[in-house]
Chains A and B, each alone.
Chain A
């Protein structure tokens, strides 16, 4: 029998119990998130599949983020190149700039920057949208009309962020490299072909795989956090604002922790 999860308010807030209550609520949240993830894996494979909703969410997550990601990626490429040049120039090693940019962008910057932008733009959007639907009883309305709201709203959004983040991450990397190329070309007159040949010569198969895995994990994290916060929004419009805000803050926090852990694992595999 599937028991419904009921959201209760905070535990009694007497001063002396405040700290222990916060710790208890923290562990309840952790348990809630794990239950949420478990339900995602259970529901994602089970028909009927909400294909049109998944495509719509992929469009929202991917296509609608392109403008912001293009601008950010391009500027990061230029600024990172400009900031790195003086240090390399002091060793007479400006010819290493394309390789340096290639490694930095593919290995770390592209997935991380894309994830942070997505956490801010998409995570907050999901948190606010689902939070608003929760407090205005639209999610309950879906449930009583015999539609599974978790499948329609959460599974589609989590799949969309998980699938789109790697694509957006590669797009960010490409745009950042283009930005870097403009700067390198303006200063060192390096050709397009020579720049990209130098940039990719240091990139290994492991780097590419690690970058894709990072983006997948970040996308999944942003989707799960946004949906979890939205589905558990309470207390009217104030709760919607809080859901959006917490979706961003928690996503970013988790993305940084995941980045650190994945880098450790990849460095271990690389033998460093």
Chain B
């Protein structure tokens, strides 16, 4: 049973709209320490907007978001920066810096946020994180030379290098072949176990959700329409939830 004090992320009645179009309409969820939660939903359902609000990249119109006990939308720039050191954000597009090598990409957050580290310690940290994701041989490659799966993994490695307490994955398996998807799913589980992180995984891939998440939340029409374990969430009469399940698993007749 999860305790109240174990809550790492508390989202309460969050609303967000763009140009008068409502995207999130009363989102409420609590995420506990060490838990992996997958948020499932169709494209444009506001999944990515939600994790950008958690990371402080967007402000909610209404409601509150508490991360590690701090209310994100009331923090000043310095406090937000300190909070972000504890949050890793893996972008859908990987968002690697095109003009830098893999090593420089990994070095970038480290040398700016841990200025006391020596050059040797920085190199060690880079080698360790690359080794843990199995991509040590890409050290001097440019992002353009990497495959889609490698880019995703380097993107995750760049966030892991600061030892975050929370990981936010935005569509970690989108655009990848099934074998690479399995590798990424294993990596997400590996990160949870090795780094003891609490994670939110935004996806519309049920295999990814089933493999990586302890709990699932399904978002439709700006609200969570079903929450719980994978085997529980689809036992509902809600057509939006059932339809989502059917599209993923019954694609061929």
Contacts and interface: CB of A to CB of B under 8 A. Distances in A.
Interface of A: 1-4, 6, 8-9, 48, 132-133, 136-138, 140-148
A145 B88 CA distance: 7
A140 B75 CA distance: 18
Nearest to A144: B89
A138 B112 contact: no
Nearest to B59: A4
Given A8-B19, A146-B81, A141 B58 contact: no
Tell which of A1, A141, A145, A146 has the most Cβ of chain B within 10 Å.
A145
B7 interface: no
A270 B81 CA distance: 51
Nearest to A132: B98
A140 B109 contact: no
Interface residues of B, number: 33
Given A133-B97, A145-B158, A146-B113, 7 more contacts: A2-B76, A4-B57, A138-B95, A138-B96, A145-B84, A145-B113, A147-B112
- Sorted nearest first, the 5 A-B pairs with minimum C-beta distance are A141-B95, A145-B109, A144-B89, A137-B95, A146-B84
Nearest to B75: A1
A147 to B, nearest CB: 5
B104 to A, nearest CB: 12
Question: Main SS of the interface on chain B?
Answer: loop
A144 B98 contact: no
B203 interface: no
A147 B108 contact: yes
Question: Main SS of the interface on chain A?
Answer: loop
B162 interface: yes
Contacts of A136: 93, 95, 98
Contacts of A140: 52, 57, 89, 91, 95
5 contacts: A2-B77, A137-B93, A137-B95, A143-B84, A146-B81
Contacts of A132: 98
B89 to A, nearest CB: 4
A84 B248 CA distance: 77
Contacts of B19: 8-9
